[in-house]
Structure 1
Amino acid sequence: MNFLRGLFAALLLAFNTILCCTPLFVVALFKLCLRFAAAQRVCDWLMSHIHEAWISNNQAWMNLLGRTHWRISGLEGLDYQHSYLITSNHQSWVDILVLQYVFNRKIRPLKFFLKQVLIWVPVIGLAWWALGFPFMKRYSKAYLAKHPEKKGKDLETTRRTCARFKNNPVGIFNFVEGTRFTPQKHSEQASPFQYLLKPKAGGIAFVLDAMGEQLESIIDVTIYYPGGQPGFWSLLSGQVREVVVEIAELQIPAEFIGHSYDQDGEYRLAFQAWVNQLWEAKNVQLLALHQSHPGG
């Protein structure tokens, strides 16, 4: 039964993606050709609503085929007309669909920072590009030692992307851990947090640097799966029985606005300390969730 449910869900997801990407690509072509401001605004509006339709259709099949019990708290007070910086702990690819499910039409569609290689994912990679998702090319320390001219490229990409969102409400999303939590990565990092990898403060600091005054606040999300970290097939086949999502809206400290993370060493240390405090609190929150919803 799980196999049939998963197969049907996969077909619905594929059909929904093709159904929504077809008009999305048509609008994207118009946006490339019609460079004047009014046409750009109309195209952006259309693509945003196509994006939301895709998420809504995914919500529909998740509710229809899934047997998931959702425990969501903290959505009160969010405004569709405001811009937010959203961050969360990261355990699984399922996190992305969970976040879209939770925030759809509550705030603007989330813009995720993606690895450059994901642009080659069939159909959806092109859709991410058309929607203006920022693609980041990460370099190893060894590579940067040989090619110092590549240092700061992620910052340039972040600033260039954020400039396109100036004066338009947007939900900018960043996984502070930078990658999915696994016991192996946790051990290799010697992370001091029981349920989290070490946070990387640079990503959200660059967003604050580029558009801090435009952002209403930071939305801090904690995701917990009482049944354990699910794979994507678990979601498709209805085996994710419960998802807990706790949301906290945080005011952006005034001292973190208008500073350069890569050039101001004192600010960088203060910001890293602040992010570490957030992660310490999130680890305590996850510990409480493990105790109150055992099984994960």
Structure 2
Amino acid sequence: MHFLPAPLRGLLTSLILALNTLFWCWPLFIFALLKLLLPIPAVHRLLRFLMHASAEAWISTNKFWMDWVGHIEWDVEGLKGFDKQHSYLVTSNHQSWVDILVLQYQLNRRAPFLKFFLKRELIWVPVIGLCWWALEFPFMKRFSKEYLAKHPEKRGQDLATTRKACARYKTNPVSVFNFLEGTRLSPAKHAQQQSPFKHLLKPKAGGIAFVLDAMGEQLHSIINVTIHYPQGNPGFWDLLCGLITQVVVRVQELEIPQEFIGGNYDQDEAYRLQFQQWVNQLWLDKDAELDELKRRFPAR
């Protein structure tokens, strides 16, 4: 593939990605329809297993074209096979849309199937939005503080949505993913936030607090991932064109502090402050780790 011009490589891999998605979406839609028609818990467990297996096969094909279009040099530490009989909370720093493909590449079939929170508007993305819906990804609608002040009845709706989504994961373990920063890092966003972190945006603790509240004892531990691109933050088109040459990944499994199981982030101010301090320390450690990774793997 390297003898082809980068734009042509990008077009070919875009075609492979599209065909891969169109191929695997049909089993998902059929299983989702059966799940609607057959409201039997045992059948639902089987269908969820088959749907997760289909999605993992889709990811495996994506791994194939990622290896085929470009020879990424992976430097990965801390990755292992996780217990697929338990659910995990996964988090990572966020720099690019490529982050999701990197996480899927490394965690696919090593951990329970990865599901992440999505903005409700993304359900309308052609084909893939319906795939996310069929796979029971949690779709969230965030309300601003100003809106909640005018419509207090909407307060707590995010938590209710999270609880409803996570209740489905009791029979089929998953890896629930949340980008703590909530958005991709950029110099403009970093400056606008006046972020106290050198390489990160401010973390938003509410998302994972809701997951802990909703899933509680279901979660085995936290899979804490740090991603560094020595070439600088890549675009998705760079990945499709095979222009990414090195990705550095560090994985750490962390225990979930017992005092955070069953707390009420919305209503308990002391709990909220303690939780935010814990998340802030997690981010301070990640910022220091990124500092070290940037020193060890400088820009190319």
TM-score (norm 2): 0.96
Alpha carbons 1:82, 1:107 under 8 Å: kept: no
**Which residue, out of 201, 205, 210, partners 2:205?**
201
Q: What is the CA–CA distance in structure 1 between the aligned matches of 2:42 and 2:75, rounded to whole Å?
A: 41
Q: What is the CA–CA distance in structure 1 between the aligned matches of 2:141 and 2:258, rounded to whole Å?
A: 30
Q: What is the CA–CA distance in structure 2 between the aligned matches of 1:73 and 1:119, rounded to whole Å?
A: 34
**Which residue, out of 129, 133, 140, partners 1:136?**
140
Identity over aligned pairs, percent? 63
Offset at 1:27?
Answer: 1.1
AA aligned opposite 1:114: L
Q: Which runs of 5+ in 1 are unaligned?
A: none
AA aligned opposite 1:143: Y
1:79-113 Cα deviation digits (max 9, x unpaired): 22221000000011111111000000001111100
AA aligned opposite 2:251: I
TM-score (norm 1): 0.97
Offset at 1:76?
Answer: 2.5
1:29 is the counterpart of 2:33: yes
Aligned positions, number:
296
1:81 is the counterpart of 2:85: yes
SS in 2 for 1:165: helix
Q: CA RMSD in A?
A: 1.1
Q: What is the CA–CA distance in structure 1 between the aligned matches of 2:34 and 2:296, rounded to whole Å?
A: 51
Q: What is the CA–CA distance in structure 2 between the aligned matches of 1:184 and 1:167, rounded to whole Å?
A: 43
1:63 is the counterpart of 2:67: yes
For 1:138-177, what aligned pairs fall within 5 Å after superposition? 138-177=142-181
Alpha carbons 1:21, 1:123 under 8 Å: kept: yes
Q: What is the CA–CA distance in structure 2 between the aligned matches of 1:81 and 1:72, rounded to whole Å?
A: 24
Q: What is the CA–CA distance in structure 2 between the aligned matches of 1:187 and 1:246, rounded to whole Å?
A: 26
For 1:1-296, what aligned pairs fall within 5 Å after superposition? 1-76=5-80, 78-295=82-299
Stretches of 4+ aligned residues off by more than 6 angstroms: none
Alpha carbons 2:159, 2:214 under 8 Å: kept: no
Offset at 1:4?
Answer: 1.1
Q: What is the CA–CA distance in structure 2 between the aligned matches of 1:189 and 1:116, rounded to whole Å?
A: 25
Q: What is the CA–CA distance in structure 1 between the aligned matches of 2:102 and 2:108, rounded to whole Å?
A: 10
Offset at 1:168?
Answer: 2.8
Q: Which runs of 5+ in 2 are unaligned?
A: none
